Amino acid sequence: MKNTNLYYFKKKGDVKPIDLVPLSGATVCVDSKMKREHTFELYSPGMDKLFYVQASTKEELNSWIQALEKACFTVGTPFNVKQKIHVDFDSATGFEGLPPEWEASLKSSGITKNEVIAESGVVLDVLKFNDKLKNKNTPAGGPREDEYAPMPATESTLSLKDLVSDPSRKDLFTNLERLGGGASGEVYIAYWEEKKIQVAIKTIPINKENNILLCTEINFMKSSIHANIVQFIDSFIVDQRNLWVVMELMDGGCLTDVLEQFEYINMDESHISYVCLMTLRALNYMHTSHRIHRDIKSDNVLLNNKGEVKIADFGYAAQLTQERTFRHTVVGTPYWMAPELIRGQDYGVKVDIWSLGIMLMEMLESEPPYLEFPPLRALFLITTKGIPPLKEVHKYSPELVNFYSMCLEKDVEKRAT
């Protein structure tokens, strides 16, 4: 294996290869029921061919997969390892042949045996979905509506270094003061010397797992210019291992901060409708540009002291192309996800409308549906039962209730756009 190509030979010891296999965009499938032990499938889209590779031991098999992952990652494309799982269903006892981790998840989910028997297909989809959530693929996207502007023909393959500025520009931002942070990085308030204004700086450690997501976020922020989308200012790599993203400062925090004070600060309908309208304006801009946000929730809606509402966090957003008119990747946050996404079906821009409906429920009732249940049961209920009616529906106008229902329509064709 050299760079992004795999060379193969007629026999061990030969110095001249028979041919090479391009690894860009390659996928690997490990099937536990293959007749030959320690064997995996390697599909090369560059050749449109499927190869079978046999290792001598399990350790060697794992080494192959790690090496292939490294080779594919260097060209900026997602590496997709698929594990084929053979599950049988017994109408009396339920599933047989579940992987141990799936079985453990199912036992702790609160999904009953009767529910498994009655909705075996849904339960299996939810288990697959839950497994994918733990190993999220790099997102991409695709539209379904014909009335939008023409789609770009192909997806961009820009690297992170192509998208950022010279690291010396970081010296233009001074007086950094930490605002907060978490597992994904830290957020600081800083002073921008050039413009004499305060800005927000998000610092994120760069690693193999998040490199492509960071490319997506920077690319989308740079090219998304709208009054209801947080303005991108600059970005650069510091010390070869940290990405600094400079954005406009939204000094009101996120919508979640308001909802956490739900007992003391109830949003009235005028406030709620305003937040929905501003979010919809941002989504309309994205959707007409053939983009899906895929992670709309209160955490990603920011406010400022001017009363402006803007969406942020484009790590899971997707550029839609003629080559990819639907998407099949698992992304986003479970309790806000649309049923078609949970079932592993192709989906389009309407997943954002569903998530907006869940965010509306947050504003009305302080939290998304089924939060009291384990995630797996919540996903099962979203898929089989849909979203429960509002607890105090009589308090709200018919227009709001209708809007809520239109956003959370399980039938994608009937759901609002």
Write out the binding residues. 202
Query: How far is it, in rounded angstroms, from Cα 310 to Cα 281?
Result: 10
For residues 80 and 29, give the distance between their C-alpha atoms in angstroms, rounded to a whole number: 8
User: Residue 335, SS3?
Assistant: helix
What are 104's two structure tokens?
A: 């453990």
Distance CA(288)–CA(280), nearest Å, equals 12
**Residue 228: helix, strand or coil by DSSP?**
coil
Cα–Cα dist 379/145, whole Å: 27
Nearest to 294 by CA among 202, 220, 231: 220
Q: Name 113's Cβ contacts closer than 8 Å, sequence gap at least 6.
A: 94
DSSP 111: -
The rounded distance, in Å, linking the Cα atoms of 178 and 296 is 25
Residues identified as active-site: 295
Q: Binding site for ATP: what residues are annotated?
A: 202
| Nearest partner of 364 among 342, 391, 388, judged by Cα | 391
Task: Report the alpha-carbon angle 229-230-235, nearest 5.
Answer: 130
Classified as helix, coil or strand, 160 is helix
- In this structure, the strands spanning 309-311 and 318-319 are unpaired
- Asked if 367 and 333 touch (Cβ cutoff 8 Å), the reply is no
Q: Report the C-alpha gap between 198 and 190 in whole angstroms.
A: 6
Strand partners, 83: 30
Residues in the chain: 417
The structure tokens listed for 335 are: 């309790």
